[in-house]
Homo-oligomer: A and B are copies of this chain.
Amino acid sequence: MTDYDPHAYPPFALTVDLVVLTVRDGELQVLLVRRGVAPYQGRWALPGGFVQIDEDLRAAAVRELREETGLRLDDVHLEQLATYGAPRRDPRMRVVSVAWLVLAPDLPSPVAGTDASDASWRPVDGTLSSGRLAFDHASILSDGVERARAKLEYSSLGASFCDDKFTVGELRAAYEAVWGVELDPRNFHRKVTGTPGFLVETGRTTTRGGGRPAMLYTARDAALNPPLLRG
């Protein structure tokens, strides 16, 4: 960082944009809002908004997540994706946007408590191929999907697409939707249950989905992340 004249630095507008991914109806979907004003009026866009001047970047992402999607941080995985700042990406003024990747389970009440006038889940494939998103959001979405696909290979993030308690079959369905492939149920089961630190048995089983009762798992061992002090 170099010296500077505190009265002469150029001012930038700063936003956060959210790539909120989930698995619905067996396919990867993204949460989009419809723009009510120009530019790109009527077009679909990623949810997002301006960062407040005393607000942490992650806090801004969490706030927009709550305001525009009704999701809470406890429910989802949130990580920084990248920052987009081409000079003309917003035709009105210089806006730099820090994009965040959110992986969310399929929610019982889709997009509850939404701030935006019109928000809905849309299939990622059709959205990207139609090329009709506002601003550079198609590029951001593409990067987010690529990141999600890559991270599922070397992390336990796939569980972020599942509910609190889930079966191995439900987890496999999430992977199949994100990657667009079919996985062998037997080998997938052995792999995820055999990887230490990935799944934790709850001791409970379920028959939702039919067939033989399946063990329910959680993604992390709650005992390893105790709720701070307990008394």
Contact = CB atoms under 8 A, between A and B. Distances in A.
Given A14-B12, A56-B85, A49 B2 contact: yes
B4 A50 contact: yes
B3 A10 contact: no
A82 interface: yes
A62 interface: no
A80 B115 CA distance: 32
A57 B85 CA distance: 6
A222 interface: no
Top 3 nearest A-B pairs (CB, nearest first) are A11-B11, A10-B53, A57-B85
Q: Which of A36, A53, A85, A116 has the most CB of B within 10 A?
A: A85
Interface string A43-86: 00110111111111100000000001000000000001011111
6 contacts: A11-B53, A55-B87, A57-B85, A57-B96, A80-B82, A83-B98
Nearest to A83: B83
Interface in A160-184: none
Contact of A49 (B1, B36, B52, B87): B1
A94 interface: yes
Number of this chain's copies in the complex: 2
A229 interface: no
Contacts of A27: none
Contacts of A9: 13, 50
A15 interface: yes
A90 B36 CA distance: 37
A84 B45 CA distance: 24
Interface string A7-26: 00111111101000000000
B13 A1 contact: no
Interface in A89-115: 90, 92-94, 96-98, 115
A127 to B, nearest CB: 16
A82 B45 CA distance: 23
Contact of A94 (B53, B86, B116): B53
A50 B10 contact: yes
A21 B49 CA distance: 35
Contacts of A68: 2
A45 B87 contact: no
